[in-house]
Amino acid sequence: MISRDADDCVCACRFRRAADWLYQGLPKRLGTCNREVSPEQTRSLRVSRCHPGRTRRFPVLGFELFWTADRPGGPRGKRRTARKTRQRAGQRITAWLQANRPLPGHAFFNGLKARLRGQDRSSGVHGNSGARSRVVAWATACAFKWLNRRGGTRRSCSWARFTQILDAIPIERPRLTEVRRRRMFA
């Protein structure tokens, strides 16, 4: 399994000997293309598909990669949004909600929808729906909180009224933005 994004890549080897050979030969191979390996970002990890679970996960480009069992029970490599990335997204959305709570209702919810759409586009990969749904639920709860702090100490919006607003101006549910590539066999 090889995952390549921009100038970063993840290579999986079946045997430790092959992983060591790749780890030793990679700087020389990239040197022929006038590229170099970043020593602080390059490492060799043991991640076994025979022992799937989220305890042996590692972050790459805002995602955590790990092995888990799929529905039929076989091992499958999965990605989900890394915890730190999810927390940073939450902090950015919270800061925006707090700063823009005086906006009129329609503009407020359109801005929230735009931020959630951007978050969805960056993390809309297969197997990541749980993390994306948590961000949407969390952002909705934060929007309710900050809308109630508009007019001072009194609650300005009940939960029933808030759900009516969400029905009128719906927040889009997370969706996949990743395109599955067709496998070609020669």
pLDDT in tens, 111-160: 888 888 887 777 777 777 778 888 888 889 998 888 888 766 567 778 88
Domain final position from 35, 57, 81 = 81
Q: Is 70 helix (H, G, I), strand (E, B) or coil?
A: coil
Residue 36's pLDDT band, with cuts at 50, 70 and 90, is confident
Q: Does one domain contain both 76 and 135?
A: no
Give the residue from 29, 49, 81 where a domain finishes: 81
Distance separating alpha carbons of residues 106 and 119, to the nearest angstrom: 20
Q: In the listed set 81, 104, 135, which residue is the last one of a domain according to the structure? A: 81
| Boundaries of domain holding 100 | 83-168
Q: What is the mean pLDDT of the chain?
A: 79
pTM: 0.68
- pLDDT of 97 above 80: yes
- 77 and 87 part of one domain: no
Q: Are residues 93 and 164 in the same domain?
A: yes
Question: Position 66: which residue type?
Answer: F
Q: Is residue 139 part of a domain?
A: yes
User: Do residues 94 and 159 share a domain?
Assistant: yes
Quick check: 183 pLDDT over 60?
no
Whole-angstrom Cα distance, residue 69 to residue 50? 10
Q: Could you tell me the pLDDT band of residue 1, with boundaries at 50, 70 and 90?
A: very low
CA gap 81, 97 in Å, rounded: 22
- Domain check: are 59 and 103 in the same one? no
Domain-located, residue 182: no
Least confident of 6-15, 78-87, 96-105, 175-184: 175-184
Predicted confidence at residue 43, as pLDDT, reads: 76
pLDDT at 98 exceeding the cut of 60? yes
Look at residue 179 and tell me if it is in a domain.
Answer: no
